[in-house]
Structure 1
Amino acid sequence: MRLVRYGRPGKEKPGLIDDEGKLRDLSGVIGDVDAAALAPKSLRKLEKIAQSSLPLVRGNPRFGVPVARVSKFICIGLNYSDHAAEAGMAAPKEPIVFLKAISALSGPDDAVMMPQGAKKMDWEVELGIVIGSRAQYVSEADAHKYVAGYTVVNDVSERAYQLERGGQWTKGKSFDTFGPVGPWLVTAEDIYDVQDLDLYLDVNGKRMQTGNTSTMIFSVAQIVSYLSKLMTLEPGDVIATGTPPGVGMGRKPQRFLKKGDVMRLGIAGLGEQQQEVVAWSAKR
């Protein structure tokens, strides 16, 4: 099942993409794709609904973040061994954990704004985990029971702020629009093997990143279990699980984003995003 939120920013409605690829409205069934809707019992009820009974949505509305009222946006760094190598960093022995501000969240095709003074904006296609049940001290064996589904995340970064200005990585990760998520949330039971998904990212039509989740250093189960021992994971929390090689910082010569660049990225079975880099604006 592919759950979406569609409409103008701040006015999104819940929906789903049916088996024919058509958008259908869920607002008569649930209030939003939120913590209540992501509970295992709620998802089972949604799965039983006859898709043809739901109203079709005409046109091509904007898609927003597929989860409403995200409480935490958690990221895992250097989680692909070949990406750690291109960054000139040792593969971590434990997951590297940092946070992106919730205000960085944006729709999958919304423009990405270039912050004032940005010099080294970079791209990172990542598998996103969406938590469905409250998780505290869960085992790796049980970790998948706490996952509602998966999505695509672009962990947009400003490397100078992240790596050259001291402190934590969060400062280079949290600018407005630096967290495109979507286009939809695919429920966990519809993904045959989350540790065997192809990822890709293009900039201006040129392939920059190619990878597969099979080369993650820490698996989805390991990440969920590990984080649940550091903090309570709540329904709707989004976890970005790291990026494969091919980021701009790791290229020779380095290549960073500039105004007018277009990123296109996706993950097999989870859909595709596209964003244009635009000048910073206070209006969103």
Structure 2
Amino acid sequence: MKLVTIEHKDREQVAFWTNHGVIPMTWLNEQAGTDWNTDLLALLQHNQFTELHKWYNSHGQAYLSRLPYLAASDTTYRALFRRPGKIIGVGLNYREKAIEISGQAAEEEPVIFIKPDSTLIGPGESIQLPSKAGQVTAEAELALVIGQTCKNINEEQAMSVVAGFTTSLDMTAKEIHARNPRFMQRAKSFDTFLSLGSSLSTPDEYSNLDALEIKTMHNGRVAHSNTVSSMIFSPAYLIAFLSEVMTLHAGDVILTGTPGSVTIQAGDKTGCEIAGLMQLNNVVES
């Protein structure tokens, strides 16, 4: 199942992203007499997402094929949701990137940080470069969206709590972080320093997650790319590890690390490209 958040009739709402077009949840409710939440975060937090997924896999996909739709190319896309419970970042999670940055082998445990929701923007919105922050970088990342509350979950069970995957861009004030590693939280927390994609694909859309490629885009070219198999800590490991530290709730977002960053400046266009998801693009402004 693939969902998107769109702007339709002057409000942001969830829709199905199908092979023939985009179908707002409001249209399904009107046609089928259902009462699904029309906000993705509400779907997750009110325990409707799992039931919706079951409906889709049983007969919903066929039902949707008979409904009217919006042309995908004529639709305005927005961030999946605006106020996640938690946005958890993971640093240095690709072997090549870790060696490039630190000059040494990978850490034995994940490096984690928290992004405030005030950092969050969506597709087409502008990354604002803060004055006096110095050099800023952008990093494409595969993001995990948690679908149900979990605590102390083991690695074998971890993927069962994932609602789906989306694209993301994590920005860092590189010079601030370089002055002192203890400044990382500040370097990550400026407004507009996280872009979240518009589309969510459930795990069953991927037959081989390890082969999934994440690309950091910069001004129309692929600047860096790597696959999930090159992560030091797999998505399942990260969920299990984090759930030992904190309770994970539906709607929490985990950024799994980047294959590589690019330095951005005003006028640039940067993005994240992952198969099965809508490409995420943002422009940079001073």
- State, as a whole percentage, how many aligned pairs show the same letter: 29
Residue 41 of structure 1: how far off its partner (Å): 2.5
Higher helix share: 2
Give the aligned partner of residue 12 of structure 1. 12
After TM superposition, list the pairs within 5 Å mapping 1:1-284 onto structure 2: 1-7=1-7, 11-20=11-20, 22-27=21-26, 28=29, 29-34=36-41, 35=44, 36=46, 39-47=49-57, 48-49=59-60, 50-57=63-70, 60-67=74-81, 69-90=83-104, 91-164=106-179, 167-245=182-260, 247-248=261-262, 256-279=263-286
Return 5+ residue gaps in structure 1 as ranges: 249-255, 280-284
Residue 231 of structure 1: how far off its partner (Å): 0.3
**Rounded Cα–Cα distance in structure 1 between residues aligned with 2:66 and 2:15:** 13
**Rounded Cα–Cα distance in structure 2 between residues aligned with 1:112 and 1:65:** 14
Q: State the TM-score, normalizing by the size of structure 1.
A: 0.88
> Number of residue pairs matched?
269
**Rounded Cα–Cα distance in structure 2 between residues aligned with 1:57 and 1:13:** 13
* Alpha carbons 1:38, 1:235 under 8 Å: kept: no
Query: Counterpart of 2:2 in structure 1: which amino acid?
Result: R
Residue 56 of structure 1: how far off its partner (Å): 1.9
* Alpha carbons 1:150, 1:185 under 8 Å: kept: yes
Residue 192 of structure 1: how far off its partner (Å): 1.4
SS in 2 for 1:163: helix
**Rounded Cα–Cα distance in structure 1 between residues aligned with 2:55 and 2:178:** 46
Return 5+ residue gaps in structure 2 as ranges: 30-35
Alignment RMSD (CA, Å)? 2.0
Relative distance call for 1:234 and 1:148 in structure 2 (3 A) is same
**Rounded Cα–Cα distance in structure 2 between residues aligned with 1:214 and 1:166:** 27
Structure 1 stretches of 4+ moved >6 Å: none
Query: Counterpart of 2:214 in structure 1: which amino acid?
Result: L
* Alpha carbons 1:108, 1:183 under 8 Å: kept: yes
**Rounded Cα–Cα distance in structure 1 between residues aligned with 2:241 and 2:268:** 36
* Alpha carbons 1:76, 1:240 under 8 Å: kept: yes
How big is each residue's C-alpha offset from its partner over 1:99-124, in whole Å with a ceiling of 9 and x where there is no partner? 11111111122221111223211111
* Alpha carbons 1:198, 1:267 under 8 Å: kept: yes
* Alpha carbons 1:32, 1:68 under 8 Å: kept: no
* Alpha carbons 1:25, 1:55 under 8 Å: kept: no
